[in-house]
Homo-oligomer: A and B are copies of this chain.
Amino acid sequence: MAKNLTSREDDYSKWYNELVIKADLAENSGVRGCMVIKPYGYAIWEMMQAELDRKFKETGHQNAYFPLFIPKSYFSKEASHVDGFAKECAVVTHYRLKTADDGSVIVDEDAKLEEELIVRPTSETIIWDTYRKWIQSYRDLPLLINQWANVVRWEMRTRLFLRTAEFLWQEGHTAHATEKEAIAEAEQMMNVYAEFVETHMAVPVVKGLKTESERFAGALETYCIEALMQDGKALQAGTSHFLGQNFAKAFDVKFASKEGKQEHVWATSWGVSTRLMGALIMTHSDDNGLVLPPKLAPHQVVIVPIYRGEEQLEQISEVANGLMKDLRAKGLRVKYDNRDTQKPGWKFNQYELQGVPVRIAIGPRDIENGTFEVARRDTLSKEVMPKEAIVENITALMDEIQNNLFDKAINHRKENTTTVETYDEFKKVIKGKGGFVLAHWDGTTETEDRIKNETKATIRCIPLDGDNESGTCIFTGKPSARKVLFAKAY
Residues of A within 8 A of B (CB): 27, 29-31, 34-39, 42-43, 46, 62-72, 74-76, 82, 86-99, 104-105, 107, 116-119, 126, 129-130, 133, 139, 145, 149-150, 152, 154, 166, 168, 341
Instruction: Write the nearest CB–CB distance from A147 to chain B, whole angstroms.
Output: 9
Residues of B close to A117: CB separation below 8 A: 31, 90
Residues of B close to A62: CB separation below 8 A: 39, 42-43
A63 and B43 form a contact (CB under 8 A): yes
A96 and B105 form a contact (CB under 8 A): no
Q: Which residue on B lies nearest to A105, using beta carbons?
A: B76
Residues of B close to A76: CB separation below 8 A: 104-105
A95 and B105 form a contact (CB under 8 A): no
8 Å CB contact of A97 from B68, B91, B96 = B91
B145 and A39 form a contact (CB under 8 A): yes
Expressed in whole angstroms, the Cα–Cα distance for A338 and B95 within the complex equals 49
8 Å CB contact of A105 from B36, B67, B72 = B72
Instruction: Write the nearest CB–CB distance from A154 to chain B, whole angstroms.
Output: 4
A66 and B126 form a contact (CB under 8 A): no
Q: Which residue on B lies nearest to A74, using beta carbons?
A: B30
A64 and B88 form a contact (CB under 8 A): no
B97 and A31 form a contact (CB under 8 A): no
8 Å CB contact of A65 from B42, B75, B129 = B42
Pull 15 A–B residue pairs with CB atoms less than 8 Å apart, ordered by A: A30-B71, A30-B126, A34-B69, A35-B67, A39-B145, A68-B150, A68-B166, A86-B97, A86-B105, A87-B97, A89-B97, A90-B95, A91-B92, A92-B92, A95-B154
Expressed in whole angstroms, the Cα–Cα distance for A422 and B287 within the complex equals 75
Expressed in whole angstroms, the Cα–Cα distance for A139 and B65 within the complex equals 39
